[in-house]
A and B are shown apart, each in its own frame.
Chain A
Amino acid sequence: MIILTDEPLDPAAVTDSVRRDGNGAVVTFLGTTRDNFGGKTVTRLEYEAYDVMAIKKMHEVRDSLRADYGIEDIAIAHRTGRVDVGHISLVVAVASPHRVEAFEACHEAVNRIKTIVPIWKKEWFADGSRWVACEDHEFADEAEHRHAHAERHAVTTGD
C-alpha cells in the first residue's frame, strides 16, 4: 500500500495492510504535527507534493527496503495539504517474521522518505511561516547541507 492523499490518514488500515500470518512483528510509525519549533508555537503544518514523482519515489523507497532488509510487507501513506497539531501526516508500517528487522526497516524507511520523496513542509506560527528544509543534518551531501542551513536562516517570512 502506497498512498498520497489530502484526506486524513487511517493508521489502522495502513497497519492491517502489512499483517500476514507469517509475520511475528508489526512496527507502525506515525509522524504527527508538533505544537512547537525552536520555542515558538506551531499552529499547523502544510505539506506540498510533486505528486507524480512523490508516488514514484515512495515506491522506490519500498523497493529499496525490500532489497536491503529482505522484508516484503511495507506500507507508506503521506498526507498533503493542511495538517493541524496532533494530526497524522505520515504512516509507515513494516511487518516481518522477527522484530529487529521491522524496527530497523521502519526507521530507515522514514529516513529515506525524508531524503528523496519530493514533499515539502511549511510550519505556520502565529506571526509567520517557514519552509522546513533541515532540522538535524539529514541531507546526504555537503551541497544539500549548505543549502539546508542557508535556507534555515533565510526562509522565515512574515506573511
Chain B
Amino acid sequence: MRFDVRLFALYRERAGASLVTVDLPDGASVGDLTSAVRVDYPQLAPPEVRIVVAVNAEYADDDQLLQPGDEVCLIPPVSGGRG
C-alpha cells in the first residue's frame, strides 16, 4: 500500500515537505506508518513523542489498520495558548 501523507505546520517545516510518500505492506497499522515516516524523517519528533495521526479526517489510534485510499495526515500539537 502506498500513502501520500500530508504534513502540517511544525511537521511540514521540519520535513521540508507538505506531502511524503510511504510504502507499507498490506495490513499495516497507523503505528507502522509513523515508524516508517520516522525512519525517513527522524527530525520530525523525538522518539519518545507520539506522532498523532488523522485517518480520513479523524484521530486514529496506533493500532488502527490502514486501508488503501485512506487519507493520512500527521497532526502536530494544536495551537493551544491562553488566547
Contact (Cβ within 8 A) B8 A139:
no
Q: A120-B10, A120-B78, A135-B80 are in contact. Are A53 and B49 (CB under 8 A)?
A: no
Q: A146-B48, A147-B45, A150-B49 are in contact. Are A50 and B8 (CB under 8 A)?
A: yes
Contact (Cβ within 8 A) B83 A31:
yes
Q: A50-B73, A52-B57, A53-B57 are in contact. Are A115 and B78 (CB under 8 A)?
A: yes
Contact (Cβ within 8 A) A132 B81:
yes
Q: Which 6 A-B pairs give the minimum distances between C-beta atoms?
A: A120-B9, A121-B79, A53-B57, A133-B77, A131-B10, A31-B83
Chain A interface residues toward B at CB < 8 A: 29, 31, 47-48, 50, 52-53, 56, 90, 110, 114-122, 131-136, 138-139, 143-144, 146-148, 150-151, 155, 157
Given contacts A90-B83, A131-B13, A151-B10, 12 further A-B contacts (CB under 8 A): A29-B83, A53-B54, A110-B83, A114-B83, A120-B76, A120-B78, A136-B82, A143-B50, A146-B48, A146-B49, A148-B77, A155-B10
